[in-house]
Amino acid sequence: MNEDMNRKTRNFILNCLALAALVAFLLWAPGNLDRYKLRIINLIAINAILGLSLNLIYGMTGMFSLGHAGFMAIGAYVSSLLILTAEQKTSMWILEPIAPWLLNLHAPFLVSLIAAGLAAAFFGWLIALPVLRLGGDYLGIATLGFAEILRILIVNLTPLTNGSLGLKGIPAHTDIWMSYGCLVAVLIFMIRLMNGNFGNVLRAVRDDEIAARTMGIDTFRTRVLAFTIGSFGGGLGGALMGNLITAIDPKMFMIAQTYSLLMIVVVGGLGSITGSVIGSVLITTMLEWLRIVEDPITIGSLHIPGIPGMRMVIFSMLLIAVIIFRREGIMGTREFSWDWFFPKKTKQRPISERPVSDTKGADAG
Amino acid sequence: MSLNMFIQHFINALGLGSLYGLIAIGYTMVYGILRLINFAHGDIFMLGAYFVYFATIHFKLPWGVGVVLAIAGATLCGLLVDRIAYRPLRSAPRISALISAIGVSFFLENLATVVFTGMPRAVVQPPWLMHPIPVRGIRLIPLGLMVPVISFLLVAGLLWIVYRTKPGLGMRAISFDIETTRLMGVSVDKIIALTFALGSALAALAGIMWALRYPRVEPFMGVFPGVKAFIAAVFGGVGSIPGAMIGGLALGFVEIMSIAFFPTLSGYKDAFAFVLLIVILLVRPTGLMGEKLEEKI
Amino acid sequence: MNASHSAEARKPVLRIRELTLRFGGLIAVNNLSIDVAGGSIVGLIGPNGAGKTTVFNVITGFYRPSEGSVEFMGQQLTGLPPHRVCMAGVSRTFQNIRLFQNETVLQNVMIGSYVRQRGTWWQNLVPFLFPAAAREEREIRDDAMKLLERLGLAEQADARASSLPYGAQRRLEIARALATRPKFLLLDEPAAGMNPQESEELLNFIRRLRDEFALTILLIEHDMKVVMGVCEHIQVMDRGLLIADGSPEEIRANPRVIEAYLGQSAPEAGDEAGNGVGGFKAGDFKKEEIAHAGH
């Protein structure tokens, strides 16, 4: 028991240190990095949030969803519409006038973030009720269809969304404090969720539906719940993204957006929280770095024109390679643990209190 | 709406529907035997159209020769996709192959952007196919009539292959149980390759005719027809070839007729298919002609 | 010796009435009526394809019967979805073990406890606000551990379920079923794949389960030693029909049962079997056992 306590204290201290390091980095970064790098650092956090929420749906609960771009779109639009001022809105809607009730609707940024998540969660719940009765690939197509329907609605419902022109001049509320604050909150949420018994239940639903039902689990309700929570994350990420880029339009939320999230989750490891964070760092930086191949390069008198599309060619080849040669991604279903850095003294059991009579754990050392 | 207008729309819907049907057949055959949604199918369709464009515009080949070469080229691409991206994953969880399929689709679309650039390009339209023939006030375009006829002939041919030939028997056997079929000494990979070849050839042909209808090609032209054709396949019952054709026709009619009767809905045209999909899946998940698969407890 | 043996508990807890299940034209279960007395261990036997597992699937809500009803302790189970059947106090194991292979042994058992868990998922996100939920979560972990100790699996608590040897996997499946706090347990071929010594141990294990957890047990089994050794009452099915119902002695002597198992060659085999222990020789069922072990 003492051993267990020590380990807990140690891990708590290490967690605090890691958090302090993150805070130190966030204090240092704005003064020392240029805007482009800061933007990438922001994107890493936002993509991690999005990856985690997709991973909850797909990796942890086993629902193959291709609708995440749709939830992002809902989040981005809801948040932006709440933040933009009435003057901005009037000047932006040129094709058709904005819906009157929407014109003066206004909320502070944080409220708009929560509203964005809730709106996405509501739509997630709404779509989950019919489509989660389907299994496997049908679910993928149905959710993909849902995201497309949503995009078509955004293009056509001009009084609400300004149609294909999109929204511009969204205040850049997303700074690194905001994005990493949200990421830490989402991480704590995910870790607590997946380490609790409910996390076991989600994995059970993923691994064997029939056995899960026999164990008294209402698998349909559980799926709907996980899907709804995941949609909330999608909306939150979309809202942060909109406030980072400051302009949104329906084209941003095409299927390609979902594919890059899928890539993050698959490369990191389906079902691993750590994996999604690592995946986000890798994929986000790689996608930015690959922009080189699309930009024209001039070396001396030699002018190499950029190749549009090449970035995505390399990206998709990588996705195929990962799935063929390393299906489980970087982490598989494993999670990061501080124990990695410490030699195992005793065989630890993850139970809070072992019977006093049980001394085997201590003997084994 | 006048009768003439209606007939015009009817022929139009028949043409669009049979193109959906042709693409849907490729989906349904692959899904039927491998339980894999071949996301790259819509991109093979796109490649078929591009190959004709290149053969006729760049290499100045006659249109007919271009079509034959394009179908051959797209078929080869379909075979390569199976060989490189799907065959290594035969024993992997099905979802892995699905992600691989998404990767391939994304790859082909972007490769096309790199090679052909993202600019839409106009295609050569053979005059004898496009010149309207007025019949009692209705302008009949030969292409519009040819598409359904060719489609139905091809479906008949395909059904003959599946139900009357040895490879067809192999296909049906694999769809029941791939492992047992392998144990029976059937060369499973060859039969699967044949399935991909047939499906890709049909998709390429559909792509060529699609490009003539609209008349242009662009790298992402296969995305929507592809997804919609899959929906058509689901509607008809995945695994059933006549079902795919019926599903395609149904989708063609829904799209053309709803806009013909309610022109204000035209902005939502692409959403119909998805709404239809969700409705079918709720009402009859096995589609019109599909069979129910139950998990053994 | 035990409360479960009192006359009160001997009243039937599970009543299956005129149960029929048709798949298309095939009649899998035909007008079956079975009573299972509280606190008893009852065997459901019959040749392969007799419809035994189908009966289990109907009781546990996976199949909806075409006709007839299933009642458990006064509650209608007919038409209830599987998770509601579990809530009502009926749990089961599967013929071809269905553990959560990627989870640890402990997690498997904890998943079983979830059905009785009152704290919700969001309460456990903020344990300091909901101490009761947090305490419950700890108790579930501890109870699961205790259950594993009682079933001799505590040492492997952190091992992945798929890494356990076959016999331990079967025990874990039972442990997981017990975690749902059932009053009634359905065991689908618990001895499958076990060697003679293991199945000998299984006899005591099943009795212990019944006594210690105050259960009523209905089991499907092909190993006649196990069936005759542990069951107080036996129901025999053949081609969807109940063909015999009685004590092990009565079943041994029942010519219809012998005929069902041995098919056309019944007379001679019956004679031969007559020389065996109580009408059956273990050898008569060898073929069945081998067929099953292979699968």
Q: Quick check: C60 pLDDT over 90? A: yes
State residue C106's pLDDT score: 96
Q: Which member of C82, C87, C121 has the closest CB to residue A193?
A: C121
Chain C residues closer than 8 Å to B297 by CB: 53, 57, 62, 94
Q: Which residue of A has its CA nearest to B271?
A: A149
Query: Are B220 and A309 in contact, with CB atoms under 8 Å apart?
Result: no
Tokens 């009523």 map to which residue? C216
Chain C residues closer than 8 Å to A349 by CB: 145, 157-158
Q: How far is C57 from chain B (nearest CA, A)?
A: 8
Per the model's pLDDT, the better-predicted residue between C289 and C261 turns out to be: C261
| Residue B122 within any structural domain of the chain | yes
State residue B270's pLDDT score: 85
Rounded Cα–Cα distance for residues C5 and C222 (Å): 26
User: For residue B249, how many other CB atoms are within 10 A of its CB?
Assistant: 23
Rounded Cα–Cα distance for residues A142 and A165 (Å): 27
State residue C289's pLDDT score: 38
Low-confidence ranges of chain A (pLDDT < 70): 1, 135-136, 304, 344-365
Q: Categorize the per-residue pLDDT at C286 as very low, low, confident or very high, splitting at 50, 70 and 90.
A: very low
| Residue B293 within any structural domain of the chain | no
State residue C274's pLDDT score: 36
Instruction: Work out how many CB contacts closer than 8 A connect A with B.
Output: 123
Q: Which CATH number characterizes residue C280's domain?
A: 3.40.50.300
Q: Do B227 and A152 touch (CB under 8 A)?
A: no
Q: Which residue of C has its CA nearest to A348?
A: C158
**Ordered alpha helix ranges (H), C76-153:** 82-87, 105-113, 131-150
Q: Is C145 on the interface with A (CB under 8 A)?
A: yes
| Residue B143 within any structural domain of the chain | yes
| Residue C27 within any structural domain of the chain | yes
Q: Is B283 on the interface with C (CB under 8 A)?
A: no
| C186 & C167 share domain | no
Average pLDDT over residues B225-232: 91
Chain A residues closer than 8 Å to C102 by CB: 203, 207, 333
Q: Is C93 on the interface with B (CB under 8 A)?
A: no
| C284 & C233 share domain | yes
Which token pair is B141?
Answer: 């375009």
| C190 & C167 share domain | no
Tell me the torsion sign for CA atoms C118, C124, C129, C132: positive
| Residue C95 within any structural domain of the chain | no
Q: Which residue of B has its CA nearest to A214?
A: B297
Q: How far is C55 from chain A (nearest CA, A)?
A: 15
| C14 & C72 share domain | yes
Q: Do B113 and A312 touch (CB under 8 A)?
A: yes
| Residue A292 within any structural domain of the chain | no
| Residue A149 within any structural domain of the chain | yes
State residue B290's pLDDT score: 64
Q: Chain C 20-49, CB below 8 Å of chain A: which residues?
A: none
Q: For residue B94, how far is the Cα from the chain centroid?
A: 22
The last residue of a domain, from among C142, C172, C202: C172
Q: Which residue of C has its CA nearest to A349?
A: C158
Rounded Cα–Cα distance for residues B82 and B193 (Å): 7
Name the neighbours of C, counting chains with at least 3 Cβ pairs within 8 A: A, B
Structural domain count of chain C: 2
State residue C290's pLDDT score: 35
| C17 & C85 share domain | yes
Q: Do A210 and C98 touch (CB under 8 A)?
A: yes
Rounded Cα–Cα distance for residues C122 and A101 (Å): 34
Domain that holds residue A174: 17-252
State residue B295's pLDDT score: 57
State residue B265's pLDDT score: 86
| C69 & C206 share domain | yes
The ipTM of this complex is: 0.85
| Residue B150 within any structural domain of the chain | yes
Domain that holds residue C142: 103-172
State residue A337's pLDDT score: 84
Beta bridge partner(s), residue A67: none
Average pLDDT over residues B186-208: 93
Lowest mean pLDDT segment, chosen from A259-263, B51-55, B114-118, B215-219 = B114-118
**CA angle, corner A334, sides to C135 and A270, nearest 5?**
105
Q: Quick check: B24 pLDDT over 70? A: yes
Q: How far is C190 from chain B (nearest CA, A)?
A: 16
Contacts of A23 (CB under 8 A, 6+ apart): none
Three-state SS annotation for C76-92: ECCCCCHHHHHHCCEEE
| Residue A331 within any structural domain of the chain | no
State residue A360's pLDDT score: 37
| C258 & C212 share domain | yes
Q: Which CATH number characterizes residue B238's domain?
A: 1.10.3470
Rounded Cα–Cα distance for residues B105 and B45 (Å): 11
The last residue of a domain, from among C114, C142, C172: C172
| Residue A290 within any structural domain of the chain | no
Q: Which residue of C has its CA nearest to A186?
A: C125
Chain C residues closer than 8 Å to A355 by CB: 145-146, 149
Q: Is C130 on the interface with B (CB under 8 A)?
A: no
Q: Quick check: B224 pLDDT over 50? A: yes
Q: What is the DSSP letter of B54?
A: I
| Residue A288 within any structural domain of the chain | no
| C83 & C123 share domain | no
State residue B95's pLDDT score: 81
| Residue B291 within any structural domain of the chain | no
Query: Are C54 and C9 in contact, with CB atoms under 8 Å apart?
Result: no
Q: How far is C79 from chain B (nearest CA, A)?
A: 17
Chain B residues closer than 8 Å to A130 by CB: 278, 281-282
Q: Which member of A148, A266, A324 has the closest CB to residue B274?
A: A148
| C191 & C289 share domain | yes
Per the model's pLDDT, the better-predicted residue between C143 and B214 turns out to be: C143
Beta bridge partner(s), residue C188: C220
Q: Do C86 and A215 touch (CB under 8 A)?
A: yes
Lowest mean pLDDT segment, chosen from B58-62, B104-108, B155-159, C263-267 = C263-267
Rounded Cα–Cα distance for residues B243 and B32 (Å): 12
**Ordered alpha helix ranges (H), B117-177:** 127-130, 142-164, 166-176
Query: What CA–CA distances, in Å, run from A330 to A40, A268, A280, A296, C264?
Result: 22, 5, 12, 33, 60
| C153 & C231 share domain | no
Rounded Cα–Cα distance for residues A152 and A155 (Å): 5
Structural domain count of chain A: 1
Q: Categorize the per-residue pLDDT at C280 as very low, low, confident or very high, splitting at 50, 70 and 90.
A: very low
Q: What is the DSSP letter of B56?
A: I
Contacts of A245 (CB under 8 A, 6+ apart): A170, A252
Q: Quick check: C210 pLDDT over 90? A: yes
Q: Which residue of C has its CA nearest to B295?
A: C62
User: For residue B124, how many other CB atoms are within 10 A of its CB?
Assistant: 16
| Residue C94 within any structural domain of the chain | no
Query: Are B67 and B52 in contact, with CB atoms under 8 Å apart?
Result: yes
Which token pair is A41?
Answer: 């650092």
Q: Is A245 on the interface with C (CB under 8 A)?
A: no
| Residue B260 within any structural domain of the chain | yes
The last residue of a domain, from among C172, C199, C214: C172
Query: Are C77 and C61 in contact, with CB atoms under 8 Å apart?
Result: yes
Q: Do A216 and C86 touch (CB under 8 A)?
A: yes
**CA angle, corner A120, sides to A116 and A126, nearest 5?**
150
Q: Which member of C60, C114, C138 has the closest CB to residue A217?
A: C114
State residue A344's pLDDT score: 64
Tell me the torsion sign for CA atoms B248, B249, B252, B258: negative
Three-state SS annotation for C212-255: HCCCEEEEECCCHHHHHHHCCEEEEEECCEEEEEECHHHHHCCH
Q: Which residue of B has its CA nearest to C23?
A: B294
Domain that holds residue B41: 3-283
| Residue A325 within any structural domain of the chain | no
Helical (H) or strand (E) element with A128? helix A109-131
* A interface test, pick of B50, B98, B114, B238 with most A CB neighbours within 10 Å: B114
Query: Are B118 and B111 in contact, with CB atoms under 8 Å apart?
Result: no
State residue B127's pLDDT score: 83
State residue B144's pLDDT score: 85
Q: Do B96 and A327 touch (CB under 8 A)?
A: yes
- Within 13 Å of residue C119, how many CA atoms lie on the same side as its CB? 24
Question: In this predicted model, what pLDDT tens digit does every residue of B85-143 receive, in sequence order?
Answer: 999 998 888 888 888 999 999 999 999 988 888 888 888 888 888 888 887 777 788 88
Instruction: Work out how many CB contacts closer than 8 A connect A with C.
Output: 112
Tokens 């024209």 map to which residue? A296
Q: Is A339 on the interface with C (CB under 8 A)?
A: no
Q: Which member of C86, C125, C158 has the closest CB to residue A214?
A: C86
Question: In this predicted model, what pLDDT tens digit does every residue of C137-165 receive, in sequence order?
Answer: 999 999 999 999 999 999 999 999 999 99
